[in-house]
Structure 1
Amino acid sequence: MKNIKQLLGIGLMSFTITAVSACETKSKNSNTEPLMAQVLASDEKPDNNTVKIALLLDTSNSMDGLINQAKAQLWDIVNKFTHAKCSNEARPKLQIALYQYGNDNLSSREGYIQQVLNFSSDLDEISEKLFSLTTNGGEEYCGTVINTSLRQLEWGKNPDNLKMIFIAGNEPFTQGKLNYKDAVTDAKEKDIVVNTIFCGNYDQGVNSEWKKGATLTGGEYIAIDHNRQVVHIDTPYDDVIIRLNSKLNKTYISYGALGQSKMRLQSEQDANAEAMEEVVMVKRAVSKSSRLYSNSSWDLVDASDDEKFDVSKIKKAELPRELQGKTTTEITAYIEGKKSERTEIQNEIQKLNSKRDAYIATNQKEDATGQLENAMLKAIEKQAAKKAYKWE
């Protein structure tokens, strides 16, 4: 166990949920954040290993298949970065932002565009926002949504950060008053790679300039069948991983203003994943067993990983019912017990997932994985290599 020290250090573990690396402009903390999750500027340290991905998804009538693939395959992207290392051997953090465009329910004055989520490392929040998306017919302005994401998001100027946009849709890339060439040129100047995913025939995407939209920044152009039904392979390890996920949830100790609502959100996103397919729940469970699923702003076990954490400074009213009236020594012992239990469960999930991956590799037919998953993972690997990332 690390020495229990000061009050405000927990924010150092959790600040990537609401902020980007320290050399960039930082977001303001919400007033609902518990005091323990606040960060003092003087305590912040440079963080040069952040992957930033903005998903720009067409939510017009024809895009239900795309949205469903995004919901299902978020966890593949997360699990990919679990095994990433930077050139300095550090493990990168992952932040994802989400935009929707081309939906009649959105404001015409804004170009039928909406920022659904700013850069976030909160995997439950990212899942929640993806599941909130619904489709409706509209005008699809690719140049405008790219430009909006460049203006609104804090991309930063750190050359070590891997920064990518993935824009997916099925109408001509040239629609709208803002020329997409201006938008992607701006992205390239900011060291942001634009990858385009055309939902339809490859040549049709080329003819409607989706390919050019990518190549101008050194990005990837991919055409996918967004309505394709992916045939997942059931493995002997799936049911066990799902059962372990239920046990994993019982190791969380909520605290502060966010505690109970975040516990509910965790449960809701488990239910969303399971309602799609069992395999989606399995992939989410694997993500939850990884380093990228960190919840120090509301969970005492994750919060206690910071060396400046001091449980005695938490207000009694912010503690969960089971710790009310307990001494500091008793609370510390309880947290350590849950931490040990969680580590054991997470390790078991990771071991089972390795066996699961081997089973799938042996039994899966060629090109049987998700179309959106394939498109994004291939682009990520290629562009990460330029930043000296490696996978293990």
Structure 2
Amino acid sequence: MKTFKSIVLASLLISFISCKGENNKSVVEENSPEMAIVNPKPVAPAKPATIQIALLLDTSNSMDGLIDQAKTQLWNLINKMSYAHCNEVQANLEIALYEYGNSSLAQQDNYLRQVVPFSTDLDNISKELFALNTKGGDEYCGAVISHATNHLEWRDGNQDLKMIFIAGNESFLQGKTSADFAMGEAAQKDITVNTIFCGDLQSGISLKWKDGALMGKGEYTVINQNQATHYVSTPYDQQILDLNTQLNTTYVAYGSQGSFKSSQQMSNDAELESVSIAANVNRSVVKSKSVYNNASWDLIDAADDEEMLEDLIVANKKTLSPELKEKSVEEIKQITLAKKEERAKVQKSILQLNEQREVYIKEQGAGENELESAMVNAVKKKAVAKNYTWK
């Protein structure tokens, strides 16, 4: 009898729940959270943090060695920065370039010039580095730090890393803009100022470069600007360079700047090859990573967004190479996607060879390159507090 009553009560309860309107909640739903159906909101992917590096180079007469180091070590610096992750997401990288202390620059501008604003256009940064020339002048550190602080577009994210690196070899206190004032401006924007003195340790201290780093909450480093860049020849170098030649054939220029940027890319390869095999190998490695992206002029990089690819081809068909202009939009699209697949294979091969190359270099116990190491070490030290890791 008790069992029969239980069955009847259960049936009545089920009927009651079934008769509830769609806009009303049942008693069971309200009082039994374990039975409620929860539809969690999708979690938005974490926004990548950005590492911003403003490089301020003294281009007075005695700094030819410094400029040469910057030219040859830039690509390995970028390569090392490409391993940076913040909260498990790969960080973006932006680089700005200044020159100061060059007498060919206007005195009323404090002998300084913004060469490149913050940019991800790595080829253009390299090109501008190679175009720098030295000429005697007065080096106003306070003025160039203040200009970089106020005229560059600094990011304001809590985990963005904002770094100024100033390198030179004269008194840090020259010029009308005081170092105290410049450092105060930088501090207000959470910009770290690191000083790199080109000379011996004691001279850098006497000329207040160490004090500058303390005020800027950064690192003070001494380098020999005339020291040649360390290079370890490895069994993998030529293979990587051969693959880089193959990689270059996968670029499909489009748009008003396509032809120019493609030529610039090839020119940068040639310039680095004439200066340093190591720099050219490092550049080839960077070209195999996501940090080297040319979607603004290369259809293959732009093809990361396949939905927009067809519209992009239609809009820029007239700017394509002669052999592509005559093809249909669909044919161009298929060629683009095929080259994209080919590029991915070449890039993977380069990165695999580079892993073996880096192991080989480590085993040889080669010395570090001072300018590059000073910057990498300073960035890593500051990045710890913002949850960065290097993978």
Specify if TM > 0.5: yes
1:294 is matched with which residue?
293
Which secondary structure does the structure 1 equivalent of 2:281 belong to? helix
Tell whether 2:347 aligns with 1:349: no
Residues 142-197 of structure 1: per-residue CA shift (max 9 Å, x gap): 00000011111111322221100000000010011111111012111101000000
Structure 2 vs 1, CA of residues 355 and 218 (structure 1 numbering), >3 Å: closer, same or farther?
same
Structure 2 vs 1, CA of residues 154 and 46 (structure 1 numbering), >3 Å: closer, same or farther?
farther
Q: After the TM superposition, which residues 23-172 of structure 1 pair with which residues of structure 2 at under 5 Å, given as runs?
A: 48-87=48-87, 89-172=88-171
**Alpha-carbon distance, 1:46 to partner:** 9.8
Kept in 2, the 8 Å contact 1:53–1:96? The answer is yes
Kept in 1, the 8 Å contact 2:48–2:92? The answer is no
1:282 is matched with which residue?
281
Kept in 1, the 8 Å contact 2:48–2:86? The answer is no
Which secondary structure does the structure 1 equivalent of 2:172 belong to? coil
Kept in 1, the 8 Å contact 2:252–2:298? The answer is yes
Structure 2 vs 1, CA of residues 281 and 204 (structure 1 numbering), >3 Å: closer, same or farther?
same
1:38 is matched with which residue?
none
Q: Amino acid of the residue matched to residue 250 of structure 1?
A: T
2:302 is matched with which residue?
303
More helix by share: 2
**Alpha-carbon distance, 1:308 to partner:** 4.2
Q: After the TM superposition, which residues 142-291 of structure 1 pair with which residues of structure 2 at under 5 Å, given as runs?
A: 142-291=141-290
1:32 is matched with which residue?
none
**Alpha-carbon distance, 1:49 to partner:** 1.4
1:35 is matched with which residue?
none
Structure 2 vs 1, CA of residues 307 and 90 (structure 1 numbering), >3 Å: closer, same or farther?
farther
Kept in 1, the 8 Å contact 2:48–2:89? The answer is no
Number of aligned residue pairs: give it.
Answer: 345
Which secondary structure does the structure 1 equivalent of 2:108 belong to? coil
Residues 1-40 of structure 1: per-residue CA shift (max 9 Å, x gap): xxxxxxxxxxxxxxxxxxxxxxxxxxxxxxxxxxxxxxxx
Q: Amino acid of the residue matched to residue 337 of structure 1?
A: A
Kept in 1, the 8 Å contact 2:94–2:120? The answer is yes
Kept in 1, the 8 Å contact 2:81–2:376? The answer is no
- Structure having greater relative contact order (Cα 8 Å, sep ≥ 6): 1
**Alpha-carbon distance, 1:364 to partner:** 2.4
Q: Amino acid of the residue matched to residue 309 of structure 2?
A: D
Q: Structure 2: how far apart are the matches of 1:82 and 1:113?
A: 29
Q: Amino acid of the residue matched to residue 71 of structure 1?
A: K
Kept in 1, the 8 Å contact 2:254–2:316? The answer is no
Which secondary structure does the structure 2 equivalent of 1:380 belong to? helix
Aligned-residue identity in percent: 46
Kept in 1, the 8 Å contact 2:73–2:229? The answer is no
Kept in 1, the 8 Å contact 2:309–2:333? The answer is no
Q: Amino acid of the residue matched to residue 237 of structure 2?
A: D
2:36 is matched with which residue?
none
Please say which of residues 136-145 and 74-83 is displaced more in the overlay: 74-83
2:370 is matched with which residue?
371
Q: Amino acid of the residue matched to residue 66 of structure 2?
A: L
Gaps of 5+ in 1: 1-44
Kept in 2, the 8 Å contact 1:166–1:197? The answer is yes
Q: Structure 2: how far apart are the matches of 1:276 and 1:346?
A: 24
Tell whether 2:320 aligns with 1:319: yes
**Alpha-carbon distance, 1:48 to partner:** 5.0
Q: Structure 1: how far apart are the matches of 2:266 and 2:272?
A: 10
Which secondary structure does the structure 1 equivalent of 2:305 belong to? coil
2:35 is matched with which residue?
none
1:11 is matched with which residue?
none
Q: CA RMSD in A?
A: 1.4
Kept in 1, the 8 Å contact 2:55–2:95? The answer is yes
Residues 25-80 of structure 1: per-residue CA shift (max 9 Å, x gap): xxxxxxxxxxxxxxxxxxxx995511111000000000000000000111111111
Q: Structure 2: how far apart are the matches of 1:228 and 1:149?
A: 28
1:380 is matched with which residue?
379
Please say which of residues 309-318 and 374-383 is displaced more in the overlay: 309-318
Q: Amino acid of the residue matched to residue 317 of structure 1?
A: K
**Alpha-carbon distance, 1:125 to partner:** 0.5
Q: Structure 2: how far apart are the matches of 1:316 and 1:237?
A: 39
Kept in 2, the 8 Å contact 1:233–1:364? The answer is no
Q: Amino acid of the residue matched to residue 61 of structure 1?
A: N
Gaps of 5+ in 2: 1-44
1:336 is matched with which residue?
337
Kept in 1, the 8 Å contact 2:195–2:209? The answer is yes
Q: Structure 2: how far apart are the matches of 1:115 and 1:54?
A: 10
Q: Structure 1: how far apart are the matches of 2:108 and 2:217?
A: 31
Q: Structure 2: how far apart are the matches of 1:295 and 1:281?
A: 18
Q: Structure 2: how far apart are the matches of 1:146 and 1:61?
A: 20
Kept in 2, the 8 Å contact 1:159–1:191? The answer is no
Q: Structure 1: how far apart are the matches of 2:359 and 2:156?
A: 40
Q: Structure 1: how far apart are the matches of 2:96 and 2:47?
A: 19
Q: Structure 2: how far apart are the matches of 1:48 and 1:378?
A: 21
Q: Structure 2: how far apart are the matches of 1:382 and 1:389?
A: 10
Q: Structure 1: how far apart are the matches of 2:142 and 2:286?
A: 33
Kept in 1, the 8 Å contact 2:302–2:309? The answer is no
